[in-house]
Amino acid sequence: MHVKLTIAYDGTGFVGWQRQPTGTSIQALLEDALAPLDAAPVVVHGAGRTDAGVHACGQVASITLQRTITTDALVRALNFRLPRAVRVLSAEEVAPDFHARFSASRKSYRYRIWNGPVLDPFERDFVWHIPSPALDVAAMADAARHLVGRHDFAAFQGAGGDVETSVRTIYDSTIASSQAPLGGPLLTYEVEGDGFLRHMVRSIVGSLVEGGR
């Protein structure tokens, strides 16, 4: 049976999505949890490869199982075997030609910046803390808008990328400010595209912050 998984995880302490020679990855945790359920190794294909420390609230993955199991039972069994930082939100039986990576039409990222002098301790693993100066959010928002469209994003690609082309289409690129409960402001950058290069989002955010300074 062919299954689409939707997964959420706190990426703190993990080496990222992809299985690595050292360190714990999300892919490895899922594959290790699936193996006893299918009595054979199961390969998990993710829609994207999140980097070390990056979190996910709707990562999509696809798997093929030799045995038949209800999707509800699969979700329960996986969450029983996975650490609490990783949760399978849902499982859905799909057509054999579904592939999490190649069937994806759009992907979205959210990057959060705490632009205040004192960081909320409950946010320490989920924001980039920039205590000062106060960033010019209007200038950052204006710069972010220029990324929309189809462009060559080679300048924002991290070392070690193995893609055939660095051309990507960005459908939405916005940044907004809100007041955080324990101070702030809290800046949220959201970007949606047909795909992203290695370290592309964090490179974009770094450039936006330089503009905001």
Q: Which residues are catalytic?
A: 51
What's the CA gap between 191 and 175, in Å, rounded?
9
8 A C-beta contact, residue 82 and residue 74: no
Alpha-carbon Rg for the chain, nearest whole angstrom, is 19
CA distance 127 to 114: 6
Can you tell me whether residue 207 is helix, strand or coil?
A: helix
Residue that is written with structure tokens 């705490």 in the block: 114
Nearest to 11 by CA among 164, 109, 95, 125: 125
**Distance (Å, rounded) from C-alpha 50 to C-alpha 18?**
8
Q: Which amino acid is at 36?
A: P
